[in-house]
């Protein structure tokens, strides 16, 4: 899987203090490949990779033992940034009618999304009115009427009309008369972009002056999402994007392309055919989906969050002076007593790799609990200076905590092994690494 691939590519980055173009190459290749597989268009991927490389090169690695994760974090943060900002407000006017125009290719989900938005408004006790402005297909009016009946929302339609501008204007007028607060215009689409369609939409935009114009994009669209989004963006003043059909396995890379081209907020995602299958857009979830490395990213972020700046400095001081005790160690473990996090945690601390392996070799969470239990059963003096733990003390601790005596020996041994390493790192020659931790 991509995640495994990234892990192994990043292994080659292990122990390198800085990210360079050379040492990131393999990792970035995989990220690139993953984005292409997610259907982000080629040109968008290229410009993204350039940007990320530029940002990452020369960046010192916070987690000096895991620069690969630092790279993942840079990529992730950049994607979240690009896909933002979060804005799923419909920006309804304080008084008067707010007009929302939906546009997009045929089959992208415009009409369905009109229903979903109506449902959303109704839940907030806001009265919508739907306007059947798709005059291309005879069945389009009936489709909207059915939705209106299902949701108990009024639909304005003119049988046999041929000017969508007039229909929209009449629809807005009716909304004003009926006291509806929102008008949603369901416009026509084509299978491919054509001039006539674009002209028609541009005319509605110009004459009806909708307050919000949303482009509806099929989440299963691939590489050509860039072209169609570009065409709509040129013809209309878009205010937002809705991406539908993200309930399947589509990875939604088109979203990145569409965002790149239009620059407008992504408002909602459609996750099903039912009217409640509309979710406000959240860049974090989408980013994990596009990169297909949600777990890895989540763990890296969690590790960052857990050891905050002040704690790092305190630990660093203690390591420098050789004063790190089993209590400090316990404190760390209590924070990360969740399976999988232990390794990430240890990776944050220079020189903790050996301990990490030890912790991982025990059954993660259970092992941590045991260790914490053992330390709890020690006296203050023993925690400060575990060397004094002799056979008698060990037996007492083992009894008190229900942990095997041999596990206590191992814990103390590993801790003692780490101390000089930590001191050496803090004191001589490893200042660079300590510096890294502060960033
Ligand atoms: P329009 O031509 O743009 O108005 O597209 P429609 O609203 O008629 O939708 C086309 C098809 O896509 C219909 O079968 C919808 O049920 C389906 N559809 C729309 N949105 C979603 C979605 O979020 N998920 C799924 N699975 N299907 C959707
Ligand atoms: Mg339609």
SS3 sequence of 108-163:
CCHHHHHHHHHHHHHHCCCCEEEEEECCCCHHHHHHHHHHHHHHCCCEECCCCCCC
Arithmetic mean of pLDDT over the chain: 80
Residue 155 scores a pLDDT above 60: yes
133 lies in a domain? yes
Task: Please choose, from the candidates 227, 226, 212, the residue with its C-alpha nearest in 3D space to the C-alpha of residue 182.
Answer: 212
Instruction: Give the binding-site residues of ligand 1, using a 6 Å CB cut-off.
Output: 104, 106-112, 189, 216, 244-245, 247, 270-273, 277
* Residues 122 and 230 occupy one common structural domain: yes
Average pLDDT (351-380) is 63
Q: Among 164-168, 216-220, 417-421, which stretch is predicted with the lowest mean pLDDT?
A: 417-421
Kindly give the distance from the C-alpha atom of residue 241 to the centroid of ligand 2, in angstroms, as a whole number: 16
Index of the ligand 1 atom closest to the CA of residue 269: 23
Would residue 173 count as lying in a domain? yes
Q: Is residue 300 part of a domain?
A: no
Contact 144, 186 (CB under 8 A): yes
Q: Does one domain contain both 335 and 269?
A: no
Lowest mean pLDDT among 81-95, 266-280, 365-379, 385-399: 365-379
**CA-CA distance, 211 to 183, in Å (whole number)?**
10
3-state SS class at 378: coil
Predicted confidence band of residue 290 (pLDDT cuts 50, 70, 90): confident
Choosing from 22, 57, 85, the residue where a domain stops is: 85
- Please tell me which of 106-115, 339-348, 353-362 the model is most confident about, judged by mean pLDDT: 106-115
Domain that holds residue 277: 98-281
Band of pLDDT at residue 431, cut at 50, 70 and 90: very low
Cα of 146 from ligand 2 centre, angstroms: 12
Q: How confident is the model at residue 362 (pLDDT cuts 50, 70, 90)?
A: very low
Residue 231 CA to ligand 1 centre (angstroms): 21
State the pLDDT at residue 358.
46
Provide the percentage of residues in the chain whose pLDDT is more than 70: 73
pTM for the predicted model, two decimal places:
0.68
Q: Residue 18 phi/psi, 5° resolution? A: -130, 150
How many Cβ atoms are within 10 Å of 219's Cβ, its own excluded? 25
User: 102-111, 164-173, 309-318, 331-340 — which is least confidently predicted?
Assistant: 331-340
Residues 6+ apart with CB under 8 A from 45: 32, 35, 36
Question: How many domains are contained in the chain?
Answer: 3
Domain boundary among 85, 111, 136: 85
Does 401 fall in a domain? yes
**Cα angle: 111, vertex 207, 179; to 5 degrees:** 65
Separation CA 343–CA 358 (nearest Å)? 10
Return the minimum-mean-pLDDT range out of 192-196, 247-251, 414-418: 414-418
| Contacts of 336 by beta carbon, 8 Å cutoff, 6+ apart | 306, 342, 344, 345, 368
Name the residue with higher pLDDT: 289 or 408: 408
27: CATH: 1.20.120.140
């Amino acid at each position: 899987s991509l995640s495994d691939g990234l892990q192994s590519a990043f292994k080659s980055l292990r122990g390198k203090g800085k990210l360079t173009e050379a040492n990131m190459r393999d990792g970035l290749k995989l990220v690139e490949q993953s984005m292409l597989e997610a259907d982000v268009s080629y040109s968008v991927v290229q410009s993204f990779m350039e940007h990320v490389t530029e940002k990452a090169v020369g960046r010192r690695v916070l987690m000096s033992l895991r620069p690969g994760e630092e790279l993942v974090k840079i990529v992730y943060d950049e994607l979240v940034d690009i896909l933002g900002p979060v804005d799923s407000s419909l920006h309804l006017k304080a008084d008067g009618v707010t007009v929302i125009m939906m546009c997009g290719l045929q089959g992208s989900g415009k009409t369905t999304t009109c229903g979903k938005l109506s449902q959303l408004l109704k839940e907030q006790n806001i009265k919508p009115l739907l306007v059947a402005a798709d005059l291309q297909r005879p069945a389009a009016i009936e489709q909207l009427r059915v939705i209106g009946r299902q949701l108990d929302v009024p639909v304005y339609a003119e049988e046999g009309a041929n000017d969508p501008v007039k229909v929209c204007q009449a629809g807005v007028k009716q909304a004003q008369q009926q006291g509806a607060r929102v008008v949603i215009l369901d416009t026509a689409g084509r299978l491919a972009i054509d001039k006539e369609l674009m002209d028609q939409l541009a005319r509605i935009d110009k004459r009806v002056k909708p307050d919000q114009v949303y482009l509806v994009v099929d989440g299963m669209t691939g590489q050509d999402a860039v072209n169609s989004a570009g065409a709509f963006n040129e013809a209309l003043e878009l205010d937002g994007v809705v991406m539908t059909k993200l309930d399947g396995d589509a990875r939604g890379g088109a979203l990145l392309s569409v965002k790149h081209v239009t620059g407008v907020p992504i408002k909602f995602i459609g996750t099903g055919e039912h009217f409640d299958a509309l979710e406000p857009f959240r860049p974090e979830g989408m980013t994990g989906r596009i990169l297909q490395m949600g777990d890895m990213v989540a763990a890296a972020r969690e590790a960052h969050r857990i050891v905050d700046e002040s704690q790092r400095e305190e630990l660093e001081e203690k390591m420098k002076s050789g004063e790190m005790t089993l209590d400090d160690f316990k404190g760390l473990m209590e924070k990360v007593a969740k399976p999988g996090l232990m390794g990430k945690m240890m990776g944050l601390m220079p020189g903790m790799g050996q301990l990490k392996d030890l912790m991982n070799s025990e059954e993660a969470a259970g092992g941590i609990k045991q260790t914490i239990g053992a330390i709890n059963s020690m006296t203050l003096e023993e925690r400060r200076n575990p060397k004094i733990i002799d056979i008698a003390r060990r037996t007492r601790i083992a009894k008190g905590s229900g942990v095997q005596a041999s596990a206590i020996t191992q814990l103390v041994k590993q801790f003692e092994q780490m101390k000089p390493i930590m001191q050496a790192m803090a004191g001589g020659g490893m200042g660079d690494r300590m510096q890294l931790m502060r960033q």
